[in-house]
Amino acid sequence: MGKVITVMKVFPDEGVTLTELLTKVKMVDGCIKAEIAEYVFGAKIIQASFQCEDAAPRDFEEEVTKIAGVSGCQVDEVGLV
């Protein structure tokens, strides 16, 4: 059995403090890395990576979208480790 890694961009709602949102994203079970990153036109987002067993897949996009202060997510990569 292998592990599945999901890399995504997390977009904050307007007026949300990125450091607070970063803390919430890091609290998601399976988060292995999350950081504030530059996006376009000076905007900032959270770049996050999540890992789970391929035998027990999870929808991290759905889990992160439910966090208060998240306006949306964009999955960049999903693959086996």
* Host domain of residue 58: 3-80
Where do the DSSP E strands lie in 1-81? 3-12, 31-38, 44-53, 70-80
Q: pLDDT digits over 36-79, tens only?
A: 999 999 899 999 999 999 988 899 999 999 999 999 999 999 99
CA angle 25, 29, 33 (to 5 degrees): 55
Q: What is the tally of structural domains in the chain?
A: 1
What is d(CA 41, CA 25) in angstroms, rounded to the nearest whole number? 23
Q: pLDDT digits over 25-39, tens only?
A: 999 999 999 999 999
Instruction: Kindly indicate the confidence band of residue 24, based on its pLDDT and cuts at 50, 70 and 90.
Output: very high
In this prediction, residue 81 carries a pLDDT of 85
In this prediction, residue 1 carries a pLDDT of 73
In this prediction, residue 43 carries a pLDDT of 93
CATH number at 70 reads 3.30.70.60
Sequence-separated (6 or more) residues with CB below 8 Å from residue 31: 25, 48, 49, 50
DSSP character at residue 11: E
Instruction: Kindly indicate the confidence band of residue 7, based on its pLDDT and cuts at 50, 70 and 90.
Output: very high
